[in-house]
Amino acid sequence: MDESRVAIMNFCLSWRVQIAMLQDRLLLWVLFVLLLSLISCREKNPPERKTSSSPPFAVTNETTVSDFLESLGLETKNSPPGADDPGLIKAGEELVLTGRLPNASGQRLSSYFYCADCHHSHREHSELRPIPERDFLEHAVANDLPLLPASSFAGITNREGHFKNEIAALYEPTDAAQLNLEDAVQFCSTEIARGRRLNAVEMQALLAYLHSLEWRINDLGIRGADLSELKRRAINPREHRKIGEDISSRFPSQVIASVDREDNSSETLTALDPNPQRGQQIWSAACLHCHGAEGASQHFFSNRKSTWKKLAVLVEDGSVARHIRGKTETKNDSVVVMPPFPLEKLSQKDIKDLETFLREQLPASE
C-alpha cells in the first residue's frame, strides 16, 4: 500500500474520531440543557402540597358521624350491605311501621307487636347526652310524639350496646344481644314481641333503614362557629383522636341505664303533691298509643265509664304500676304482657301522677 493511501486512511480515521467526540460532547450539552430546564420549571411551578386550607374530609351539617370519624382514620362500624339503597331503606321503614315487608302479605314478624309500637324513629330529647334530668314526656308533648317504652331507633347504629337498663333484668338477653345490633333485633322480635326471627332479606332491609337514622353532625349541635372550629381541628392529625372522643361524648353509646336517674323513695312520693295534669299527658302520649282505637293492645281504652271503672280497680290494687314496669305475673306462657317502661321514661312519680289522673275520671264520668 502506497504512502498516499495510508495517509488518506489515517486522515479519515482521525475525522471519525473527532466527529464521535463532538457527538458525545453535544449529547452531554443537550442533557445538561434539559436538566437546567427541568430545574427551572420545578422552581417556577413547585409540586402541589397539602396545605392547611381544608380538612381531610369535607364535613358538613349532614355528614354522618361514622363518615366523619372514618375520614379521620378512626375506627367505625362497617356499613351493612345495601345501606345506601333507597329501595331497601324504604322496605326497612315499612317493616318497622307495619311489621312486614312491602307485598309480604301474612308474613308479619309478630302477631302482637311491631317495632313502631315500642320504638319511634325520632330523637327522644333535645339533649342527646345521658344526663339524669332529661324529661322524655316534656319532649314528647312539645313535639307531638308518642312516649314509647323502648329507646328510639334514631342513632341506634352509633351505639355500642343494648338492653343495659332494668329491661335486661326482666328479659335476660344474651351477651350477643346486648353487644350486637342484629342479635338485639332477633332477641327483641322473638322474646319481647313474641314473634319469629327475621329472615336474611328482612334483616338486610331493617339494618339499611336503621343505618339511615345514624346521627349527623347537625344532630350533635355542631353548627356555625362550632362547625368551623371542627374543620380547623380536623386539619391536624394530632387532634383526630381527641375529636373522636369529643364526638362520642355528645350522644349515649348505650341505652341509658335507669340508675343514672334518681328515683323517688316512697316517703318522698307521699310528701309530693300529685300532678294529675302531668298524669293526663302520660295517658295521652303513652297509654293511648297502644290502648287507643288503632293501638296494638287488645285492651281498648276510651272515655267511657267502663274504662274508668276497670282502671280504678287496677289503681287500687297497684296493678297499673306492675303493668307499666312489666312485672305482671301470669301462669300462662301464651299471655303477652305489655312491654315495660323503664325508669328513665316513666319515674315512680310519673306513675303516681297517672294514677291520680285515673282516679279523678271515675266521678266525672258518672
- CA 80/CA 314 separation, integer angstroms: 46
CATH 1.10.760 maps onto the chain at 263-365
- Give percent above pLDDT 90 in the chain: 39
Rounded average pLDDT over 2-9 = 60
Rounded average pLDDT over 334-355 = 85
Summarised one tens digit per residue, pLDDT across range 208-219 is 999 999 999 999
pLDDT band at 26 (very low <50, low <70, confident <90, very high): low
Rounded average pLDDT over 268-293 = 84
Which CATH code, of 1.20.120, 1.10.3110, 1.10.3470, 1.10.760, is assigned to 263-365?
1.10.760
pLDDT band at 364 (very low <50, low <70, confident <90, very high): low
Summarised one tens digit per residue, pLDDT across range 97-150 is 999 999 877 789 998 888 999 998 998 888 887 666 678 999 999 999 999 999
Examine the pLDDT at 169 and tell me if it is beyond 70. Answer: yes
